Amino acid sequence: MIRVVIADDHPVVRAGVRALLDAEADIEVVGEAATADEAVALAEQLAPELVLMDLQFGERAAGAEATRRVRALAAPPYVLVLTNYDTDGDILGAVEAGASGYLLKDAPPHELLAGVRAAAAGQSALAPAIAGRLLARLREPRVTLSVREIEVVRLVARGASNAEVAARLHITDATVKSHLAHVFSKLGVSSRTAAVSAARALGILR
């Protein structure tokens, strides 16, 4: 039996996914989480085989960090990302955080069920379009930002000052400036506004 925790901030999405999974004889939904913190807590308490993880909870893109925390547990379940977002930054962040798979919410039911079974068995479960994007990223030399650099640019895009970015990410102002300097260099820009624009044009930010 594959025991699953569903983590998504939309009750209707959780209900729909639960109905789909509960209809399968070999899958049991053992918990639902409406926040990233709840997802981590349930993963620790219930020890499921798999956590189905959204990337966006309310205004916070907290799914990748929650995935990292789940995978750091003493007996970590596998994580399968199920989201609406398919930018390179989102995909890379989730995979680097330890997700076994990445599916989009518009995937057909049979694809989601196959992904759940594959991810719970420790296999890779990537939507075909996502797999193609990752392969293209590996084959073609292109600008890449680290997960932390993407987090910094994402906050800058929302209008956060260096001090606010530092507070949100629990780092120093000097570290924020260092990250931005690296971002400017990689993107070939000289301002925060240009960095955000370039990151969006490259698909790093949604």
Q: Where are the domains of the chain?
A: 2-138, 147-201
Please tell me the predicted confidence (pLDDT) of residue 136: 63
pLDDT of residue 127: 73
| Residues 195, 172, 159: CA angle, nearest 5 degrees | 40
Give residue 74's pLDDT.
92
Which CATH number is associated with domain 147-201? 1.10.10.10
pLDDT of residue 113: 95
CATH number of 2-138: 3.40.50.2300
pLDDT in tens, the chain (206 residues): 999 999 999 999 999 999 999 999 999 999 999 999 999 999 999 999 999 999 888 767 688 899 999 999 998 999 999 988 767 677 777 888 889 888 989 889 999 999 999 999 988 888 776 776 666 665 555 667 888 999 999 999 999 999 999 999 999 999 999 999 999 988 888 889 989 988 887 778 86
Whole-model pTM over 0.75: no
